[in-house]
């Protein structure tokens, strides 16, 4: 049974956390359980969802941490120690986590941190992605939540979507596990488009976690192979 830590923030509503909890209940995720939900903000709604489901929670506010004279490096080390020693985590899932995690953190969990990104990403550092219909669009990197969705609308992309990938020290360039394309409609606003993207996220994130928990993801030359 893999021990999963889910990291969230207060930017979303914790809907992806809810999708993971539900997939575990329905046994769509087998061989995995959430051992802790961590937020960098105490008002993240996902914390309440976790508590309702009797999942332990931790709040690690970076600003508070800095007020005590500590550095970002120390924060990442503390988080790494907490998740490895106290919670003995096997998999870290960033389900709406807004802080970029440094190498100091990643070294605790090599190839064990997966991120959900509200845009389509290619493997590696290419700056475009080839869609399923052969068309190419720019990769949306470094933007969070609404801003990433707005970018796709502003740049008149025909399609956007969401990606689940392993993280590496290079932001939004890690090996892709799953992605889902979502068509952009002529009258779409951020709200309507993001709603459809989230519906897809609620499928691909639990699916990727299930693959991980059942040892079905292999990394070869920085690419994910699903076995």
Binding site for ligand GAR (CB under 6 A): 11-16, 95-96, 116-118, 144-145, 162, 198, 201
Tell me how far apart the alpha carbons of residues 88 and 94 are, in angstroms, rounded to a whole number.
Answer: 17
**Residue 10 beta carbon to ligand GAR: minimum distance, rounded to whole angstroms:** 9
C-alpha gyration radius of the chain: 17
**Surface-to-core class of residue 114, CB atoms within 10 Å of its CB (0-12 exposed, 13-18 middle, 19+ buried):** buried
**For ligand GAR, the closer CB: 67 or 152:** 152
**Residue 167 beta carbon to ligand GAR: minimum distance, rounded to whole angstroms:** 10
**Residue 15 beta carbon to ligand GAR: minimum distance, rounded to whole angstroms:** 3
**For ligand GAR, the closer CB: 76 or 201:** 201
Is 117 one of the catalytic residues? yes
By beta carbon distance, the residue nearest ligand GAR is 12
Per the CB < 8 A criterion, the answer to whether 181 and 161 are in contact is: yes
**Residue 217 beta carbon to ligand GAR: minimum distance, rounded to whole angstroms:** 19
Tell me how far apart the alpha carbons of residues 208 and 221 are, in angstroms, rounded to a whole number.
Answer: 19
Residue 15: how many other CB atoms lie within 10 Å: 16
Strand pairing report for 128-130 and 136-138: antiparallel
Catalytic residue among 117, 144, 155, 202: 117
E strand residue ranges, the chain: 2-8, 32-39, 57-59, 91-94, 113-117, 128-130, 136-138, 159-166, 176-183, 217-220, 223-226
Q: Which residues are catalytic?
A: 117
């Amino acid at each position: 049974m893999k021990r999963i830590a889910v990291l969230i923030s207060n930017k979303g509503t914790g809907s992806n956390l809810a999708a993971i909890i539900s997939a575990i209940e329905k046994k769509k995720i087998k061989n995995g359980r959430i051992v802790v939900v961590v937020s960098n903000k105490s008002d993240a709604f996902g914390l309440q969802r976790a508590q309702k489901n009797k999942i332990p929670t931790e709040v690690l506010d970076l600003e508070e941490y800095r007020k005590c004279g500590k550095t970002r490096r120390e924060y990442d080390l503390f988080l790494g120690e907490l998740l490895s020693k106290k919670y003995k985590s096997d998999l870290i899932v960033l389900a709406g986590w807004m802080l970029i995690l440094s190498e100091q953190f990643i070294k605790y969990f090599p190839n064990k941190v997966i991120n959900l990104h509200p845009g389509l990403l290619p493997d590696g550092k290419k700056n475009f992605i080839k869609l399923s219909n052969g068309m190419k669009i720019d990769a949306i990197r470094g933007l969070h939540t609404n801003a990433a969705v707005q970018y796709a609308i502003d740049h008149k992309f025909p399609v956007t979507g969401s990606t689940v990938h392993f993280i590496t020290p290079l932001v939004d360039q890690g090996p892709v596990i799953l992605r889902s394309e979502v068509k952009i409609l002529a009258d779409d606003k951020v709200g309507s488009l993001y709603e459809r993207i989230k519906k897809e996220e609620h499928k691909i994130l639990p699916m990727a976690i299930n693959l991980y928990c059942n040892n079905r993801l292999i990394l070869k030359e920085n690419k994910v192979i699903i076995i």
